[in-house]
Amino acid sequence: AFARENEAHSVYFAEKRGFKEIMREVLSFLDITKFEPTAYDDVLQKVNDMDIKLISLEQFMDIDPDHKRKLYKLDRELSRDLPSHTPETPMDFMDFEKEVFSNPNLLPDGWTMALHGNDCIGVSMLFDSKGDKTKLYTGLTGVRRPYRRQGIAIAMKVKSIMYAKEHGFARIQTENDQNNPMFLLNQKLGFVAQPSWIEYEKLLRI
């Protein structure tokens, strides 16, 4: 069962009947016209000084013939750390390849990849919105565990926002679990949260 947090009657209805909250999903928007990339020059410089290269997926595809396998391996590693109340169902390589590279909304030049040498250590995904030419959607953003808390994730997000700004988009939409560290990172970047969706469950005794 689901209810919006700002709809008191729906929340009351669910909780009165014994449903327990298990997750909050937050929809947020960034007004790109108000985003100032130069405020993050020091973050980008720090990542560069660590010998971390930030390139687009399009560039990664050009320089590494094994880009699909590397991206799949990274995606599987990052997905295991996403907040979830149900066990993750592993995705095999062929399904991943189809889901990503056959996606009509894929923006290879809008994704930001983080490379350390030949290792793919981070990604920030950005997708087109065929129905709304003013808006883009985010996908997964994450960094491998040994490289976390060093500013790489925020640097990748900034690069993706810069792409959107340079290409004339007005806003970016994202969705995060409220317990996902990316939710707080997005707020720091200027994303404005909307009332969250609360997911409930009720265990029935048989």
**What single string gives the DSSP state of each residue in 127-150?**
E--TT-TTEEEEEEEEE-GGGTTS
Q: Distance (Å, rounded) from C-alpha 92 to C-alpha 148?
A: 26
Q: What is the pLDDT of residue 77?
A: 94
Percentage of the chain exceeding pLDDT 70: 81
Residue 205 lies in a domain: no
Residue 124 lies in a domain: yes
Residue 20 lies in a domain: no
The three-class DSSP label of residue 169 is coil
**Of 94, 101, 18, which is closest to residue 57 (Cα–Cα)?**
101
**pTM exceeds 0.85:** no
The boundaries of the domain holding residue 83 are 25-194
Residue 131 lies in a domain: yes
* Average pLDDT value for residue range 189-193: 93
- What's 35's domain CATH number? 3.40.630.30
Q: Of the segments 20-34, 79-93, 105-119, 164-178, which one has the largest average pLDDT value?
A: 105-119
Count of domains in the chain? Answer: 1
Sign of the Cα pseudo-torsion (141, 147, 150, 155, in order): negative
Beta strands in 84-177 (DSSP E): 112-116, 119-127, 135-143, 171-177
Residue 35 lies in a domain: yes
Residue 52 lies in a domain: yes
Residue 119 lies in a domain: yes
Residue 18 lies in a domain: no
